[in-house]
Structure 1
Amino acid sequence: MSAPHPTEGGLLAPVLLILAILVVATLDATTGPELHISGFMGIAPLVAALRCSYRRTLLVAVVYVVVLTYVDLLTVPDWAPASRVVGVFGAFLVGVFALVLCRTRLQREALHARTSLVADTMQRAMLRELPLRAGTLEAYGFYVSAQEGARVGGDIYEAVDTPHGLRLLIGDVQGKGMPAIGAGLEVLASFREAAQYQDSLEGVAGRMEQALTRYNARSAEEGTDERFVTALLLEVRAPGRARVLSCGHIPYYLVRDGLVHERSDGEGALPLGLGGLHREPRRSVLVRPQPGDWAVLCTDGVTEARGGDGRFYPLAERIAARVDLEPADLARALRADLEDFTGGRLKDDATLLVVRRTPAEAVAAAPVRSAAA
C-alpha cells in the first residue's frame, strides 16, 4: 500500500525537530563520551509522526537515524562493537516505527474525513440549509444541535411550495441528539410528501401521525424508546389568509407594527405520536396576517435555554429590541445573543425561524428568481 500524501502542512514543526536533533548531536560530539544524550532524541521522529505529513516525518526520521549512527560510530570510542550495532539498530527501529505510526494516523484521518463527508451529506439531505424559500415565503434563522459535531438532532423544519399553498413546518422530537434523528427524519419525510397531496393541514398532520406511529411500532419491536414530536404547521394560500395548526408545540411570535405578540393559535392538540390518546381531531385555525407582518417560530431549546443565573432566555424581549432589523440580520443577532446568554452551553437542540412573505416589490422585480426558490 502506498503511503498517504496529504497536503503538506507548515515547515515549522519538522524544522524545529531537525534542529533539536542536530543541536543534541553536536553536544554529544563536543562533550566527550561521559555524556551521551542523543538516544533521547528518538522522541523527535515520533512527534513528527503525530504532527507532520508522511514525507516530512520521513525526513525527520532519516536525519535522526543518520545523526545517531554518526554519534554511535564516531563519538563514543569506548563502546564495544556490539553496543554500536545495538545503538544503530535501535535508531533504525525508532525511525521505522515513526513512519508506520504516521501512515496509520494519516489513514485514519482520511477514513474519518470520508465518514464525516458522508455523514454531513446525509444530514444536509435531512435538513436544508437556511434560509428556506418556498414561493414568496422566506424563513431565515438558525439551528444549533446540542450534540457536539452533529449538524442535526431532535429539531426539524421545512418549507415547501405546494398546489395547496405555501406550507411550513417546525418540530421538536422528544429527546435530543442521535436517538431523536430517526423519528425526526420519519416525520420530516412524511411532511414533505403529504404537503404536496393533502388538501388540508389536518390531513398533513394525520399522515405525519401515521408515519410516526409506524416508526414507534418498529422501535417497540426493536426494544428502543418510542418518540413523540411537537410540531407547528403554517399554511398560506392567499394574501391575508393563513392557517396554523399546532401539535403540542410552543407558541410563536407575531411581529406587527413593531410590536411583538405571543400567539398560541390552535394550542391544545396533542403532539404527533400521541394523537390516539385523544378522540378530538386536530383543528387548524384561520389567521389573517396583514401586509408587513412577520413571525418568529422556535423550539423550546430557545425559550428554555438558561443563563448563568438560571433565568430562561427572554425571547420576546430580545425580538422587541431588534424589530428594526431585517430577518437575516435578526436571526444572526438572536443566535449571537442566545450563545452569549447561555455562555455557549445549550442543553437542548435550538431552532429559530424568522418567517415573512417576500415584499411585493421584490417579487415584481425578480419573478424568475422567486419562482425558482
Structure 2
Amino acid sequence: MLMTAIGLMSGTSLDGVDVALIKTDGRRVTALGPSGYRPYSEPERSLLRQALAQAVELTRREERPGVLGEAERMVTLAHAEAVANFTAQHRITREQVDIVGFHGQTVLHRPSQRLTVQIGDAAALARAIRVPVVHDFRAADVAAGGQGAPFVPVYHRALAQALDRAGPIAVVNIGGVSNISYIDGNDLLIACDTGPGNALLDDFVFRTSGQPFDTEGRLAAQGTVDQTWVAAALQQPFFVLPPPKSLDRNEFAALALPDLAPADGAATLTAFTASAIAAIVPLLPKPPQSWIVTGGGARNLTLLRMLRDKLSPAGVESADALGWSADAMEAQAFGFLAARGLKGLPLTYPSTTGVAIPMTGGLIARP
C-alpha cells in the first residue's frame, strides 16, 4: 500500500528541524514531495548543548533529569511547530498524511553499553499534530547488539536503485558525524560511520567566531591545513575498525588543536573530516566508482574539493545534482523508515549496524 509520510530529523549539528514529505510503500520511493526547515534559535541551541553535556551521565535511556527534561519539551514543541508550518505552507491537511517519522534529538549514543538516547515526546507530538507518529527507531537494534547507526542506508539503496550507475556507489552523509552507505547492486549493502562530520568544525567555528558553522567552507578556504595534526588524529583506533561501526557526536571532542588561527583551524578540521571519509575505502570490498554527498557537508565547497582530491579517480557529486535533496535526505529517510517499520520490514542489517539478524524497529504513538 502506498503511503504519504512526513519525515522529521534533528541532527547532531543542532541546527534545526528538517521536514520532508514522500510517497512510498516502504520498499520503493514513488515521489519526493516538498521539504522545509525550522531552525533552532541560539537559546534553543544553547539548551541542546547543555543537554548533551548532561547526557553523558545517563545510565538509563528513559531518564530526563534536570535540563534534559526541559530540552525534551523544547524539541517536541519545535517539531510540532515544524509540522504545522510545513503543512500550512503547502496546504496539506492532516487527513492527507498517513504517518509521521520522528527521529528526535540524539543526546547520547553508546552502543557498546546498549544505550542510545533520543529526546522528544512522541505521544505529545502525535496529540499536537493529530497524525500517528513512528518513533524510537534505534532502540531495538541497539538492544539486540547492533550499533544503532547508521539508519539511512536502506533509504539510500531505494534511491540508488533508480540510478543507472556502474560499479559500487557510496552515499556519504555529512551531518555532525559522517556515515556512508556502500551499495553494489541490489544485494550488497554496507554502512558505517566514518568519523567526524561537521561537529568538530561547527564547534570550533562557534568558539572562535560565534557563527554556527563555516558557510560554504569560506573560512577553511583561507587557511592552511596542519597535516601533522591530521595524520596524528587519524591514528585513533576507530579508523582501522571494519564496518559496521558507529560513534557519538563527541567521540573526538578531546582531540585538541594546537594554537592555530581560526582559518587554519577550520582548514585542519575540514581536512580531518575528508581524510576520515577517505580512510574507509581500503576497508570496503571494492573502491566506489562514484560518491554522492548529502547532509550539511554537501554545502561546504572546501570539503567537497578536499573529498575530490582524496577520492580521485572516483567521481564526487552533491545529491542535489541528481535531483535528490542534500538538505532533506535524512528527513525523507525517516518518513521512509516509518512506512517500512509499520510493515515490519527490516530497517537495519548485519552489514549496516552489526546486528545479528535483520531488524525492524520503531514504536507508534497515536493521537
- RCO higher in structure (CA 8 A, sep ≥6): 2
Structure number having the greater helix percentage? 1
Fold shared by both chains (TM-score > 0.5) = no
Structure number with greater Rg is 1
TM, length-normalised to structure 2: 0.29
